[in-house]
Amino acid sequence: MKKIRDVASRILSTRLGFVFTLLLCYWLKTMWAYHMDFNLDLENAYQVFLSVINPIPIGLLFIGIALYFKKTRSFYIAAWTVYTILNLLLIANSIYYREFSDFITVSAMLASSKTSAGLGDSALNLLRVWDLVYIIDYIILIALFATKKIKKDGRVFNKRASFAITALSSLLFSINLFLAEIDRPELLTRGFSNYYVVRALGLPSFTAYSGNQTYQAQKERNRATAGELTSIKDYVSQHYAQPNSKYYGIAKGKNVIVIHLESFQQFLIDYKLKVDDKEYEVTPFINSLYHSKSSIAFSNFFHQVKAGKTSDAETLMENSLFGLNSGSFMVNYGGDNTQFATPNILAQNGGYTSAVFHGNVGTFWNRNNAYKQWGYNYFFDSNYFSKQNKSNSFQYGLNDKYMFADSIKYLEHMQQPFYTKFITVSNHYPYTSLKEEASETGFPLAKTNDETINGYFSTANYLDAALKSFFDYLKAAGIYDNSIIVLYGDHYGISNTRNTSLAELLGKNSETWTEYDNAMLQRVPYIIHIPGYTEGFISQTYGGEVDSLPTLLHLLGIDTKNYVQLGQDLLSENNSQTVAFRTSGTFVTPEYTSYSGHLYYTSTGQEITNPDETTSEKIKKIKEATSKQLSISDSVQTGDLLRFDTSNGLKTVDTSKISYTHSLNALKKIEKEKGADSTSIYSQHNDQSTQDLFKSPSYLELHKETTTSQSSTSTSSSSSN
């Protein structure tokens, strides 16, 4: 025993030994934080492995810097200082995480006043007894030095050896980075979520990554001037499509419920999957909404997302501005940019209260920050819902039935009118989220040679059933009649590379499959369901996600003339029907489709290889128009130009007043203060909860009810204009 102690004390009394001891302590404490404080959602052994190794390269790189110092005093001061900085970062994040379920970004550090909102309990209250772990090493090491169990090493560390340590740690870091890319390609370019970066690369790397993001965004922002907004406003007023008086204000004052249909493509509508000579209607409920006389639905509505996928769709739908050409707008700019998004507009035009419900962690796509800039009062993320386990959730969060069911206890306390968005997730790649439940839902898998395609119909069917349950609840609770419900598919679910395997299921030939077919598969549903309205129809107007907001606002009787929105009301008679994909030069209009370097007639799919002069001229004009729309969007988004927009009649959001923690208490407090004037569902039900009104029968149970359900068609009739 004594021998071991002697060896240990001798090692600790060398400079290199001391550096490695600090590294070991740092590693131990990081592991502690990873398991006790953070939720890194480690899904497999590979991710566990990455999380175990990631503190080492960066820790060694930094603490190793001390070895370059010659003087004894300087060496120890440098080692302690670097070590303490690493520790402070770790401790600060651990405490912050307890309140925000997120890591500290550089932009949050710079705007610490903003983040203090929600630190309802002071930081002191967030401390736990076991936080002693974070400082116990200091106590031990100082005691060891004081009692001379460890002595200072006066010998200068060899310069070459110092270089070797730096080189080794840099190499290890590169390997770490490489392994992280294997686990999640495009990790740093797409951003996804802060915890993705931490679990793969560690906290210091995350901070550096976040610092770079803030720096880049700040650079563009500083370059931008108020003058730029003037020309943009000119474009907006020229491009503005006047509301159609036939529809203007028909849903005024109603609750707005937006349903984000994850990875849901238009081809699923009315689709019947044939398996073993039997036909199965995939989404009978959504089909019935699509054809309902109370719905205005669109058959030529395209998604316009790029690498930011879901986050791009949200940006488009709620700002009428595009995502970025690379990366995610919400991740890179969303936390800081001034936006005039739907929740903010509706709060100031009709006193709407707003909330998002989504069964994934709130940090995904930086939602927890971006939603504040958009003016969302509440954000119910996975923290607010049932604990996730293998049978009720998957990688992207809680399955839809649970998400809807769990939302009700919050929804019922919201003051009406409300603007709410429900982001579904079960129908997400790889379409196996329901493995456990697949037999319960009973919906068959398709039989192609592509597993991803095979599962797609079953998860879509599950989403459909979950949605029906939610609608049934809305009706039973008396919300339905007073609401307008907007459904949209965010982007494709089956990627273009898989489409040839899908071809046969769509009655097409994979051999003759073209880029035109790929382009047409970028259509997603857009259905505006207005209970009580009886003149619904299916519009064939061409449009995209950027057009949704002006369309919706006009239905709510809010004119968008003064707002910097780049889309056009799809119900307007002046609509230009020009749909820009996010990749410059690609578009769809009723006449032409340009996709992946090919040009087609939209109505027939026939390729145009040698366009005549008039055609070329027309194409040129469309290209100019779509490029202009994209470049204007980019200037607004990367220059944060809306901060200069003081003449739109809207106040900017005061994000310091918004907190996404303790939301139920906040809602109940408002309810109580309002007393008899409270308009929440809970108050309207004489202070009784409506949670029991949500029922979610399985596919098999549903199937029992209607013997013909497999081939049942929608109940309402359809028409088109």
**Single-letter residue type at 352:** Y
Q: Which of 206, 209, 290, 364 binds ligand GP9 (CB under 6 A)?
A: 364
In the complex, least distance from residue 720 CB atom to ligand GP9, rounded to whole angstroms:
30
In the bound complex, what is the minimum distance in angstroms from residue 402's beta carbon to ligand GP9? Answer: 15
Helix pair 2-12, 15-32: axis angle to 10 deg: 100
Contact 260, 470 (CB under 8 A): no
Stretch that binds ligand GP9, among 142-150, 420-428, 550-558, 563-571 (CB under 6 A): 420-428
Using the minimum distance from each CB to ligand GP9, give the nearer residue, 331 or 632: 331
561 to 236, 254, 340, 552: CA distances (angstroms): 8, 21, 13, 13
**Residue selected from 209, 379, 396, 431 as contacting ligand GP9 according to rule CB under 6 A:** 396
Q: Beta strands 255-261 and 418-423: pairing type?
A: parallel
Instruction: Using alpha carbons, select from 404, 409, 414 the residue that is nearest to residue 378.
Output: 414
Give just the sign of the alpha carbon dihedral 635, 636, 641, 646.
positive
- Strands 418-423 and 353-358, by their bridges, are parallel
The verdict on whether 189 is a catalytic residue reads: no
Counting DSSP H helices and E strands in the chain, the numbers are 28, 16
Number of residues that bind ligand GP9 (CB under 6 A): 9
Residue 671's binding partner among Mn ion, ligand GP9, none (Cβ under 5 to 8 angstroms by kind) is none
List the one residue from 194, 255, 360, 551 that touches ligand GP9 (CB under 6 A).
360
Q: What does 217 bind: ligand GP9, Mn ion, none (CB cut-off 5 to 8 Å by kind)? A: none
**Identity (one letter) of the amino acid at 151?**
K
3-state secondary structure of 302: strand
Contacting residue, 29, 309, 372, 523, with ligand GP9 by CB under 6 A: 309
Residue number, 137 or 314, with CB nearest to ligand GP9:
314
Nearer residue to ligand GP9 within complex by CB, 400 or 464: 400
Q: Rounded to the nearest whole angstrom, what is the least distance from the CB of residue 312 to Mn ion in the complex?
A: 9
Q: Looking only at residues 291 through 310 of this chain, which bind Mn ion when binding is defined by CB under 5 A?
A: 309-310
Q: Which of 86, 200, 346, 425 binds ligand GP9 (CB under 6 A)?
A: 425
CB of 393 to Mn ion, least distance (A): 16
Angle, helix 15-32 to helix 133-146, in steps of 10 degrees: 160
Q: Which stretch binds ligand GP9 (CB under 6 A): 199-207, 286-294, 421-429, 620-628?
A: 421-429
Enumerate the H helices of 380-477 as residue ranges: 400-411, 435-441, 451-476
Residue 127, classified by CB atoms within 10 Å of its CB into exposed (0-12), middle (13-18) or buried (19+), is middle
**CA atoms of 571 and 247, how far apart (whole Å):** 8
The residue from 310, 551, 593, 690 that is catalytic is 310
- Taking CB under 6 A as the rule, does residue 384 contact ligand GP9? no
Q: Give the per-residue contact string, 627-656, with Mn ion (x = CB under 5 A; - = no).
A: ------------------------------
Looking at the Cβ atoms of 264 and 513, the one nearer to ligand GP9 is 264
Q: What is the DSSP string of 271-285?
A: -EEEETTEEEES-HH
Q: How many CB atoms lie within 10 A of CB 691?
A: 16
Reported as type and span, the H/E element at residue 358 is: strand 353-358
What is the pattern of x (binds ligand GP9, CB under 6 A) and - over residues 618-647?
A: ------------------------------
Q: In this structure, are residues 72 and 145 in contact, taking their beta carbons and an 8 Å threshold? A: no
490 near Mn ion, judged by CB under 5 A: yes
The total of other beta-carbon atoms located within 10 Å of residue 705's CB is 8
Q: Which residue is nearest to ligand GP9 (CB)?
A: 309
How far are the Cα atoms of 62, 183, 185, 419, 663 from residue 205, in angstroms, in the given order? 11, 17, 17, 38, 32
Are 76 and 152 a contacting pair, CB within 8 Å? yes
Find the length of the chain: 721
549 in Cβ contact with 565 (< 8 Å): yes
Nearer to ligand GP9, 397 or 531 (CB): 397
How many whole angstroms separate alpha carbon 294 and alpha carbon 291? Answer: 8
Residue 545 is a binding residue for Mn ion (CB under 5 A): no
Q: Quick one: what does residue 206 bind among Mn ion, ligand GP9, none, with the CB cut-off 5 to 8 Å set by partner type?
A: none
Q: Which of 107, 115, 266, 310 binds ligand GP9 (CB under 6 A)?
A: 310
Distances (CA, A) of 651 to 68, 374, 644, 647: 54, 12, 12, 10
Q: Which one, 548 or 602, has the nearer CB to ligand GP9?
A: 548
Spatial distance between the Cα atoms of 426 and 398, rounded to a whole number of angstroms: 8
Question: Using CB under 6 A as the criterion, what x/- string covers residues 428-467 for binding ligand GP9?
Answer: x---------------------------------------
- Smallest distance from ligand GP9 to CB 180, Å: 18
Least distance between ligand GP9 and beta carbon 200 (Å): 17
> CB nearest Mn ion: which residue?
310
Residues that bind ligand GP9 (CB under 6 A): 309-310, 360, 364, 396-397, 423, 425, 428
Active-site amino acid positions: 310
Kindly list the residues in this chain that would bind Mn ion in the complex (CB under 5 A).
Answer: 309-310, 490
